[in-house]
Amino acid sequence: QVQLVQSGAEVKKPGASVKVSCKASGYTFTSYGISWVRQAPGQGLEWMGWISAYNGNTNYAQKLQGRVTMTTDTSTSTAYMELRSLRSDDTAVYYCARGGQLDAFDYWGQGTLVTVSS
């Protein structure tokens, strides 16, 4: 069965970086993209961007351009999302999901809480 398993919770100081991983299993990793979505406490879903697991092409939300980098490691079927220059309003649950460019998100990771606090 398809599974996306994310790395554990992180606590970071303002200005630091965080890198969240998303390990996929149960399907051919390079046949689908991986998207990242975050949700601040009590808020709605915010799309962060997408990466093709086939060729590494990316599409980032304009708001995060310059601070976010999405990568994949096809040898381990793992996607990564790195967010730099963290601020308190980056505190959120970060989700990876399968799909993105021309399809919906049919499978989701369990979420990773990133807390930014001094």
Q: Is 108 one of the binding residues for other proteins (CB under 8 A)?
A: yes
**Residue that is written with structure tokens 């990242």 in the block:** 36
Q: Is residue 46 a contact residue for other proteins (CB under 8 A)?
A: yes
The nearer residue to other proteins, 16 or 45, going by C-beta atoms, is 45
Q: Binding to other proteins by residue 5, rule CB under 8 A?
A: no
Among the residue ranges 10-18, 24-32, 68-76, 102-110, the one whose residues contact other proteins (CB under 8 A)? 102-110
Pairing status of strand 46-52 against strand 58-60: antiparallel
27 lines the binding site for other proteins (CB under 8 A): no
Residue 114 near other proteins by CB under 8 A: no
Closest contact distance (angstroms) between CB of 39 and other proteins is: 8
Does the protein bind other proteins through residue 109 (CB under 8 A)?
Answer: yes
CA 65 to chain centre: 14
Instruction: Please identify which residue in 12, 111, 113, 115 interacts with other proteins, judged by CB under 8 A.
Output: 111
The DSSP secondary structure of the chain, one letter per residue, reads --EEEE---EEE-TT--EEEEEEEESS-GGGSEEEEEEE-TT---EEEEEEETTT--EEE-GGGTTTEEEEEETTTTEEEEEE-S--GGG-EEEEEEE--SSS---EE---EEEEE--
Where along the sequence are the contacts to other proteins (CB under 8 A)? 35, 37, 44-47, 50, 59, 61-62, 95, 100-106, 108-111
